[in-house]
Every structure is written in structure tokens, then in C-alpha cells.
Amino acid sequence: MELALAVLVTIVTAATPLLLAATGELVVERSGVLNLGVEGMMVMGAVGGFLAAYLSGNPFLGMLAGVLFGMGMALLFGFLSLTLATNQYATGLALTIIGLGLASLIGEPFVGRAGIRPPHLDIPGLSDIPFVGPLLFGRDPFFYISLALVAGVVWFLFYTKPGLTLRAVGDNHQSAHALGIKVLRYRYLAVLFGGACAGLAGAQLSLVYTPQWSENMTAGRGWIALALVVFASWRPMRVLVGAYLFGAVSIGQLHAQALGIPIPSQALTALPYAATIVVLVIISQNRRLTMINTPASLGKSFVPDR
Amino acid sequence: MTPTGPDMLLSLRGLSKSFGTFKANDAVDLDIRPGEIHALLGENGAGKSTFVKMLYGALQPDAGEIAWRGTPVAIPSPAHARQLGIGMVFQHFSLFEALTVAENVAVALPGDIPLRKIASDLEQVSRAYGLPLRANARVYDLSVGQRQRIEIVRCLLQEPDLVIMDEPTSVLTPQECEDLFGVLRKLASEGKAILYISHKLEEVRALCERATILRHGKVVGSCIPRDETAGSIARMMVGADIHEVRHARAEIDRSAPLLSVNGLSLPPRDTFATALKRISFDLYPGEIAGIAGIAGNGQSELFDVLSGEETVARADTVSLLGEPVGTRDIAARRAMGAVFISEERLGHATVPTLALSENVFLTRHSVNPGLRRGQLLDRAAARRELDRITETMDVRKSAPDPAAQSLSGGNLQKFIVGREVLDAPKVIVVNQPTWGVDAGSAASIRQTLIDLAAGGAAVLVISQDLDELFEIADTLAAIAEGHLSPFVPASQTDRNAIGLKMSGVAGEEHRAS
């Protein structure tokens, strides 16, 4: 029981940054923009979050700084890929490279320093329920934010007019423009939101997951988040399921190694990506489902005519 | 100038718009009364689209005045236009395939109206106008005609006083067109004005009370379409007489066919394709043979086998100049003096993003040694060839050597036809020669085909346009579900008989016999 609880708690902790970053990227991609720079925004969020919390002693300032660092990177991406209409794939990749380099540079003097954890938010009564209590109700703020975020995104995308407009922009930006929708404004806001989420996910890594700063501490989680969005075929609730599945795989991998189960760790590490490919193959079998869920103008630049 | 009284719904004075040095609209004046169906006519590239975009707020005029119900207004955005009461039904639909019908409507409506209310409103309006729609259907699953209904209903839900329709019938079947005209007349009877943009003259004569004609960005005249003939309106649009095609040609020599098809059967290549069933015919020098048919009955499959894009197992299934070529590819057939003009102008006949001179290479480099220096491309020669095509076919273009996609449909088709026919081909196979092409260009393309036949070439025209076929073809057949009826002389058949064969009725008899 104790061990099971410990394992589940680590899975939740491992899944939360994936969920945060993937939910943000889902909104970005629903608007028709493919930002491959999630890893870069995340690592900047990690270093920014760590530094702000370390220097001020306030973990909540760290969370805020993570969000702002992620948004800063997203703004750069937006300026290049939206205002200047550069190739989104190349720009996203460049953003990741810049982010990793810049974060290493900024964080260099602080490598190895102990970070500041945000307090767990105990809810009196609920937190005391055996097993479920500590798992669901005695957690750090990131956990609650991530769940609220998914609920919020579902509500926004499928139950509000701006959410509908965002999906329309992602489906066909020419049509949207013809109807007088401000395509670039929607995309900027979506990209900034995605940056905020990725930054927050990064801050979770340097404040909760391993409360310290070390180089490349995102370790490819940004890429997993990107894969997750496809895995979930652009549906937020499936992102939730997928994030916990991928989280479980990454933790299970560690335990499998500890128990000496003879599966190469590389195979397990590759599992999320393999799963994404399988899902892509499955959903591409059904053209109709693909059409309905895939943002049709994903990755295409939009230049309004005079 | 006519005075702009309050009885005018919309008055435009001196509307101008330039792109660089090109004057798309030059001091255009127009008045629209409430409750009238007003046609805006003009050839492709005459400036209709630019004009309409300014009315709808998608483009800003460089100069000129817009008065709405007698009050001067500016229209800075489409939202503003909708607010005034100007609705637009686009030629290229502005729909979102992944969304439902109701969502497509909701996106365009101002404010935040609950989806459920929009769904019930739109079903009510669609029933009232005889445009049945299911609110929860995904656009992706709908036909072209149904999609246009969404556009129209979406426009009507905004309760506009003026509805702009940009070439609404270009994608509709004749039956769907009739339904649409019924809707438009009903709207006009309710006092809504309609600005109807088209280059289909018979349609305009049947539907519109007044017409304004644009040419090269200027208003060149206005008329009451019912009092004119299609010919007289066309003259105003083109600025010159559109010549009736001249049939001056030699007797057809039926001794040796130039193109023969012998027992061609082909299974469908995928689930959307049509199987070809025992097709046989001969085509002689000086003959223009027409194949009528509704799209998707095997025309593209037949074209591909004739051109060699799709080769067949037995060489003697297709013969050119008496030689079996069924197993040879398109380049080999071109080398024998055959040319092939496919239906899809952009993406098949030309590469949209390449310059016209580069598109010359596409079909000609293997047959015209003058376009090569050794194994290298001679770009200067291609540009000379382009000049020759431009001059002979009167291709209008914005730059000396623009990208194929920048040309209007009619001009691009003239370029393609010119590219293929300038080297005196012996066999010409053309699929939908004037689809979506303006009247002036269509007439000149048809004349070109007739002249080629008069010169002794054999011409096979596959077309959906019966008027076109009866105008130029000597013999006619119809294709239905991959089955080709026997060719009969055009003078011995009529539209009804061919129409029956197109629907496959005559084909059934043929198979039974």
C-alpha cells in the first residue's frame, strides 16, 4: 500500500508537466500554429522559475517567472512565425535550440543549489482520507492548476464563441479572414497561452519534480508534450489520459530497472513516441475523423492580403 | 451621373483601387435600388472581385465615395459591412470543413448567441427558403450544393438588405441553379437587393433586372438584360464582337483513322474511380468528335488512357496514326504528334508556382529540340516560345513571365492550349476545354480547335458543356458510367437524345442489344 501510494504520487508528479505543456500546445495547434519550440519554452520556464524562487525565496514568484519566461519565448516565436510569416517548423526548432542554450547560460552559476518548493496545499478533511487523500488532496499547486487548465480549455474550446472562432481559424485561415476574423490576433494569443503553459511546466520541474537547476533538465519532455497532442488527436480530455499514461510509462521504466526486469531502458523511453506513431497510423485510417479533429491549416503561414 | 437619392440603397461614385501600377478598379460608379437583382458582369480579370471586396470591407478603396441609403459611409471591415446590412456569399466558400453547420454560422454572426438558438434559427430560415440543412451535420460530409446553402443561410441570418453573390452557379448542377434562382427571386420580392456577379449571360438574362458591365476595371455600360441578347451583352463585356465560330473545313477523310481505341476496358484504379467498359471508336483527319457526359462518368480515366498517363496491357487498345501505342508513355505519344490538354489547369496542366516559360518545358521539352541545348534547358528559347504563344493566343498577363497561378482561368487556358497546338499537332485530345473560362477566351479556344481540324488534325473534345459540343463537334457520343455510346453525326441528334445517353438510359439499351 505504502509503495503503491509512493509510485502513484511520483506518476502524478511526472505527468503534471506533460499535461501542462501539452494542453498549452493543444490550444496553439488548434489555432493552426505548430510550435516545435515547446522544449525551449519549457527549459526557459524551468530556469526562470528556479532563479526567481531562489533569489526571492518565494516559490509563487518562481511560478510567475516560469510563466513569463515561457511567454517571452512564445512572443519571439510569434513575432517570427506570425508577423514575419517564417516557416513554423524551422522557427520552432530554432526556439528549442535557443532556449536550451540560453537557459544553460543563465543558470550556470546556480547549478546544484537547492531550490525552493512551493507548499503542498492541504485541504483539511479531504487530505486526511486514507490513500486518496494524500494522492489527490495534499498536492502542490501545479497539480491543481493542470487539472483546472484541462477543464478550462475544454470549456473554452467547445463552449465559448472565442473558442469556436479559434478552432475556425485553425481549420481554414483564408475563410476566417474572409469573414473578417483577426486571424493573427487569435494566433498570437494562442501562442502566448502555449508559452505560459510550457513555462509553467518548466517551473514545475525545477520547483517540484527535482527542486534545483541542472542543465537540460527538461530532458525531452517538451517533445513528449508535442507527441501527446497528436496522440490525443487534439482533444483535451485525451491529453489528460495520455499525460498520465506517458507519466506512468516513464516512472514504470525506472521501477522496472530497479527491479532488474530485463527490458532495455531505451525501449521503455522510446515507448511514448512509438505509441504516438501507432495512434497516428490508427487515426489516419479514418479520413473523416482525421478531418474533423486535425486543424487543417496546422503549420501553414498566413499572410493577409492588402 | 444620376443623382443619389434616398431611394437608392447603395450608391458608389468614383471607386478606385490600384495594386502597384495596375488599376484594378478605375472610377467605378454603381447604384443599387432596394428589391432589385442587379448583375455585375465582366470577363475574368475585369475587376469584379476587387470591386466586391471593397463593398464588403475586405479591401479599402484608394478613392471614391460609398453612400448607403443616401448617407456617406466607410466600410473598414467585413464586420462593418455586415453591420450596415451587406451580406456576402463567396465564390470560393468561406466555410470550415471540420465544424458543424451551426458552428459555421455561429462563427460569422456578431455577439455570443447560444449554439442551440442558432441551430433552430438556421433550420427555420433554411426551411422558409427551401434550402434544407441539418444544423449538426459536418461540412466535410456535405456536397458542394449543400455547402452553398450554408453560405446563403448564414448570410440571410444576418438579415442583410443587400446580398452580394459572387459567381454562385459556377459549381452547381442545372437543377441546383434553378433552386437558387427561386430563392433569389423570393429574396428580391421581400425587398432585399441582390448584386449578382457572373459571366453566364443566359443566367443573367433570366434573373436580373439591370446589369452593369465592367471591362479593364471601368464601367463600360449598363443595360436591361432582358432587352438584350447574350451576344450584345458579350460584346460590351469583351469590347469587340465575339465571333461565332466559323465552320470552314474540308471533308472528313474516312480512309485511315488518326486515333483508334479498340475494346478498351479498365477496372477502377481506386474506390472513387469509374471502370471503363468496352470502349471502341475511330477518329479521322479533319474530324472533331465530342464526348458528352456528367463529371465522374469515366472521362478522366478515358483521358488518362488516351494520353498514356495510364498505360494498358495490350498495345493495340490505343493506336495513333495506325501504330499501336497502348503500352507507350505520354512522351512517346507526344513525339508522334499527339497533344493532350487535361482538365485541371493548375496542378496538372501547369505547375502553379512556376513561371509560364518554365511551364512551356513541362510538355514540350521532349518533343521540341529547339528548347534544349544538348541536355540542358534553353530558357531563352522557352521565353521566345512563350512570346509566340502569347501573341497567337492573345494571353493577357501582368508581367512578361509571371507564375502560372497569377493568370485568370481564361488566360491560363489560352496559354495551355497555345503551348500544345502551336507545333501543328495531328491528334488533339482535350478534356473540358473551356470549363470556368470567360466567354471571349472560350470562343477563341473553340475557334482554335476548329481551325486545327480544318487543317487536317483529329480533335477529340471531352466536355460537360452541351452548347459547346453542338457548336464545334462533327460527331457526338456520350459517356455514362464508363460506357461510351456510339458516335453519331451532330446534325442527326439533339440535346435531348444526348442528354438521355448521358444519364445512361440509352447505354442500358445498348448493352442489352
Interface of A with B in 192-251 (CB under 8 A): none
CATH topology of domain B10-238: Rossmann fold (3.40.50)
Say whether B98 and A288 touch across the interface (CB within 8 A). no
| B5-51: pLDDT as tens digits | 558 899 999 999 988 777 889 999 999 999 999 999 887 678 888 89
Residue among A219, A268, A217, A264 nearest A245 (CA): A268
Q: Is the pLDDT of residue B509 over 50?
A: no
Say whether A180 and B82 touch across the interface (CB within 8 A). yes
Place of cell 429574396: B187
Position B502, amino acid: M
CB atoms within 10 A of CB A130: 9
The per-residue pLDDT for B34 is: 92
From chain A, pick out residues whose CB is under 8 angstroms from the CB of B104: 168
Counting residues of chain B whose pLDDT is more than 90, the rounded percentage is 43
The per-residue pLDDT for B1 is: 42
Using an 8 Å Cβ cutoff, are B125 and B157 in contact? yes
CA A167 to chain B, closest CA, distance in angstroms equals 8
From chain B, pick out residues whose CB is under 8 angstroms from the CB of A179: 78, 94, 107-108
**Which residues are registered as beta bridge partners of B376?**
B373
For chain A, which ranges sit under pLDDT 50?
306
What number of H helices and E strands is found in chain A? 13, 0
Query: Chains A and B: how many Cβ contacts under 8 Å?
Result: 66
Terminal Cα distance for chain B, rounded = 68
User: pLDDT category, B170, cuts 50, 70, 90?
Assistant: low
CA distances (Å), origin B105, targets B85, B115, B123, B188, B222: 16, 9, 11, 22, 35
Of B59, B92, B108, the CB nearest to A179: B108
CA B33 to chain A, closest CA, distance in angstroms equals 25
Pairing relation of β-strands B288-292 and B86-89?
unpaired
Burial B223-257 (b: 16+ CB within 10 A, else e): bebeebebeebbbbbbeeebeebeeebeebeeeeb
The per-residue pLDDT for B506 is: 47
Residue among A25, A33, A69 nearest A205 (CA): A69
CA distances (Å), origin A144, targets A62, A128, A203: 17, 17, 14
CA A258 to chain B, closest CA, distance in angstroms equals 47
CA B363 to chain A, closest CA, distance in angstroms equals 31
HSE value, Cβ hemisphere, 13 Å, CA-based, for B22: 10
Question: How far, in Å, CA of A47 to CA of A66, rounded?
Answer: 8
Angle between helix axes A2-30 and A236-258 (nearest 10 degrees) is: 140
Q: Is the pLDDT of residue B207 over 80?
A: yes
Say whether A171 and B90 touch across the interface (CB within 8 A). no
Of B92, B98, B103, the CB nearest to A291: B98
Query: Which of B82, B93, B96 should we substitute to test contact with A (largest number of A Cβ atoms within 10 Å)?
Result: B96
CA B123 to chain A, closest CA, distance in angstroms equals 20
User: pLDDT category, B488, cuts 50, 70, 90?
Assistant: very high
* Phi/psi at B89 (5° precision): -115, 115
From chain A, pick out residues whose CB is under 8 angstroms from the CB of B58: 178, 180
Q: What residues contact residue B419 under an 8 Å CB cut-off, 6+ apart?
A: B359, B360, B363, B364, B385, B389
CA distances (Å), origin B274, targets B70, B288, B329, B481: 57, 25, 21, 7
For the ranges A195-199, B278-282, B405-409, B481-485, which has the lowest average pLDDT? B405-409
- Overall size of chain B counted in residues: 513
Q: What residues contact residue B132 under an 8 Å CB cut-off, 6+ apart?
A: B126, B149
The per-residue pLDDT for B20 is: 76
Pairing relation of β-strands B210-215 and B37-41?
parallel
* B193-198, strands of its sheet edge to edge: B86-89, B162-166, B193-198, B37-41, B210-215, B218-223
Say whether B95 and A172 touch across the interface (CB within 8 A). yes
Using an 8 Å Cβ cutoff, are A114 and A212 in contact? yes
The per-residue pLDDT for A1 is: 65
Domains of chain A, earliest start first: 2-293 (1.10.3470)
Nearest CA in chain A to B61: A306
Residue among B475, B473, B494, B487 nearest B247 (CA): B473
Q: What residues contact residue A285 under an 8 Å CB cut-off, 6+ apart?
A: none
Question: How far, in Å, CA of B386 to CA of A150, rounded?
Answer: 58
The per-residue pLDDT for A305 is: 62
CATH topology of domain B248-337+425-513: Rossmann fold (3.40.50)
Cα-Cα-Cα-Cα dihedral sign, residues B61, B65, B70, B71:
positive
Chain B residues interacting with chain A (CB cutoff of 8 angstroms): 19, 57-59, 77-79, 82, 90, 92-99, 103-104, 106-108, 112, 138, 140-141
Nearest CA in chain A to B155: A179
Question: How far, in Å, CA of B319 to CA of B253, rounded?
Answer: 17
For the ranges A154-158, B63-67, B87-91, which has the lowest average pLDDT? B87-91
Say whether B107 and A165 touch across the interface (CB within 8 A). yes
Q: What residues contact residue A284 under an 8 Å CB cut-off, 6+ apart?
A: A290
Nearest CA in chain A to B50: A306
Of B59, B98, B106, the CB nearest to A306: B59
Q: Is the pTM of this model over 0.90?
A: no
Residue A172, chain B, CB below 8 Å: the answer is yes
| B443-485: pLDDT as tens digits | 889 999 999 998 899 999 998 777 788 889 999 999 988 899 9
Say whether A296 and B97 touch across the interface (CB within 8 A). yes
Position A86, amino acid: T
From chain B, pick out residues whose CB is under 8 angstroms from the CB of A176: 94, 96, 107
CB atoms within 10 A of CB B111: 6
* B22-32, strands of its sheet edge to edge: B22-32, B10-19, B63-68, B71-73
From chain A, pick out residues whose CB is under 8 angstroms from the CB of B107: 164-165, 168, 176, 179, 181
Using an 8 Å Cβ cutoff, are B195 and B41 in contact? no
The per-residue pLDDT for B67 is: 93
User: pLDDT category, B323, cuts 50, 70, 90?
Assistant: very high
Say whether A171 and B106 touch across the interface (CB within 8 A). no
Q: Is the pLDDT of residue B164 over 90?
A: yes
Say whether A288 and B140 touch across the interface (CB within 8 A). yes
Mean pLDDT of B287-297: 85
CA distances (Å), origin A213, targets A49, A62, A100: 10, 12, 13
Place of cell 476574423: A181
Query: Which of A175, A287, A294 should we substitute to test contact with B (largest number of B Cβ atoms within 10 Å)?
Result: A175
CA B323 to chain A, closest CA, distance in angstroms equals 44
From chain A, pick out residues whose CB is under 8 angstroms from the CB of B93: 175
Using an 8 Å Cβ cutoff, are B437 and B396 in contact? no
Of A179, A292, A294, the CB nearest to B94: A179
Q: Is the pLDDT of residue B510 over 60?
A: no
Cell of B1: 451621373
**Which parts of B111-258 are beta strand (E)?**
162-166, 193-198, 210-215, 218-223
Maximal CA-CA distance, chain B = 74
* Phi/psi at B66 (5° precision): -115, 125
Question: How far, in Å, CA of B99 to CA of B105, rounded?
Answer: 10
CB atoms within 10 A of CB B222: 16
SS3 B220: strand
Residue A168, chain B, CB below 8 Å: the answer is yes
Question: How far, in Å, CA of A290 to CA of A294, rounded?
Answer: 6
The per-residue pLDDT for B104 is: 93
CB atoms within 10 A of CB A178: 20
User: pLDDT category, B512, cuts 50, 70, 90?
Assistant: very low
The per-residue pLDDT for B438 is: 76
The per-residue pLDDT for A49 is: 96
Pairing relation of β-strands B193-198 and B37-41?
parallel
Same fold across B10-238 and B248-337+425-513:
yes
Say whether A168 and B103 touch across the interface (CB within 8 A). yes
Q: What residues contact residue A46 under an 8 Å CB cut-off, 6+ apart?
A: A66, A103, A202, A203, A205, A206, A213, A217, A218
Say whether B97 and A164 touch across the interface (CB within 8 A). no
CA distances (Å), origin B38, targets A128, B88, B194, B208: 76, 14, 6, 6
Nearest CA in chain B to A161: B112
Nearest CA in chain A to B113: A161
Residue among B420, B430, B435 nearest B299 (CA): B430
For the ranges B189-203, B232-246, B319-333, which has the lowest average pLDDT? B232-246
HSE value, Cβ hemisphere, 13 Å, CA-based, for A151: 6
Residue A104, chain B, CB below 8 Å: the answer is no
- Overall size of chain A counted in residues: 306
Complex ipTM, two decimals? 0.84
Where exactly are the structural domains of chain B?
Answer: 10-238, 248-337+425-513, 354-423
